[in-house]
Structure 1
Amino acid sequence: MTFWALLILTALLIAAFLGYAMFRGRKNREPAAAYDLRVYREQLAGVDRDLARGVVSEADAERVRTEISRRILAADAQMQAQTDQDGPPLWANVVAISVVAAVLVGGGFWMYRQMGAAGLPDQPLELRKEMAEALRADRPSQAQVEADLPAAPQPQLDESYAALLEQLRETVSARPDDLQGHILLAQHEANAGNFRAAYAAQQRVIELSGDAAPADAYSHLAEMMILSANGYVSPEAEEALKQALQRDPRHGPANYYLGQMMVQVGRPDIGYRIWIDALRVAPPGAPWVEAIYAQLDDLAFRAGVFNPPNIPAPSGPSREDIDAAAALTPEERQEMIQGMVNQLSDRLATEGGPVEDWAQLIAALGVLGEGQRAIDIMKEAVDIFAGDTEALELLDAAAFQAGIAQ
Structure 2
Amino acid sequence: MLIWIIFAVMTGASVFALLWPLGRGRSLAFADVGDATSLYRAQLGEIDRDLARRLIGPVEAEAARAEAARRLLRASGDDAAPAGETESSLRRRRASSALALSCVPLLALLVYGAYGSPAKPDQPLAARLQADPSRQDFALALARIETHLAANPSDGKGWSVIAPVYMRLNRYDDAATAFAAAIRHGEASAEAYAGLGEARALAAGGVVTAAARESFAGALRVDPKNARARFFLAIGQEQDGDAPGAIASLRALLDEAAADAPWTQTVRQRLARLEAETGAGGIAALPPAEQQAAIRGMVEGLSARLKAGGGTLPEWTRLIRSQVVLGDKVAARESLAMARERLAQEASAAAALDALAGELALKETAP
Same-fold call, TM cutoff 0.5: no
Return the index of the structure with the highest Cα Rg: 2
TM-score, normalising length from structure 1? 0.35
Q: TM-score, normalised by structure 2?
A: 0.38
